Amino acid sequence: MSRSGAVTFKGAPMTLAGEAVAAGSPAPDFTCHYFEGGMKSLGLADVKGKPTILSVVPSLDTGVCATQTKTFNDKLSAMADKVNAVTISLDLPFAMNRFCGAESIKNLRVASDYQDRSFGNAFGTLIEELKILCRAVFVLDADGKVTYVEYVPEVTSEPDYAAAMSALESAAS
């Protein structure tokens, strides 16, 4: 299944692979990868147990994606031990680690969907024309139920940080 015109990229309509994830539904399973002393996998089972924010970006090498990651990192400082926070992109795990080191990102983990686009297809964020992820934010409760969804309509725009953080705070209380 594909969703034609689901988002725009610099004004051009783009097609997202997969179905849109809706608030109230169980989060789909996925497999992403990160590097921490070796290559490791991250999936839905790894984030259950705590409320989770999944911040999805096309690439940390772009200004808006860097801003989104740094903004969530700052906003999560008071909640870091009570929640899981993950930025997901198709950047390689090594590049993601370099970005986090250079930008002092400490309150969220980065995970890459580069191997098989598992997350992008499961959460409906893979842009078919560009083969990158769209900008989106998902909040899951401790049981893995989706409580908040934002597919940012224009990929080059920032998400609604206040709404996402409010949803995460509600899930954590």
pLDDT greater than 90 at residue 1: no
What structural domains does the chain harbor?
21-112+136-172 (3.40.30.10)
Which is the catalytic residue, given 32, 65, 100, 134? 65
Residue 131 DSSP code: T
149-163: pLDDT as tens digits? 999 999 999 999 999
**Averaged pLDDT of the chain:** 96
Does residue 50 carry a pLDDT above 80?
yes
Express as a percent the part of the chain with pLDDT over 90: 95
Residue 146 contacts residue 24 (beta carbons within 8 Å): yes
Does 65 participate in catalysis according to the annotation? yes
Q: How confident is the model at residue 9 (pLDDT cuts 50, 70, 90)?
A: very high
Structure confidence at residue 37 (pLDDT): 86
pLDDT of 139 reads 98
Per-residue pLDDT reduced to its tens digit, 11-33 = 999 999 999 999 999 999 999 99
Amino acid at 154: E
pLDDT of residue 5: 96
Share of the chain above pLDDT 70, in %: 100
pLDDT digits (tens, 9 = 90+) for 112-145: 999 999 999 999 999 999 999 999 999 999 999 9
Beta strand segments in the chain, E: 2-9, 12-17, 31-35, 39-43, 52-56, 84-89, 109-112, 126-127, 132-133, 136-140, 146-151
> For residue 44, what pLDDT is reported?
98
Per-residue pLDDT at 173: 87
Stated as kind and residue range, the H or E segment containing 161 is: helix 161-172
Task: Note whether 140 and 54 are within 8 A (CB).
Answer: yes
Bridge partners (DSSP) listed for residue 40:
34
101 SS3 class:
helix
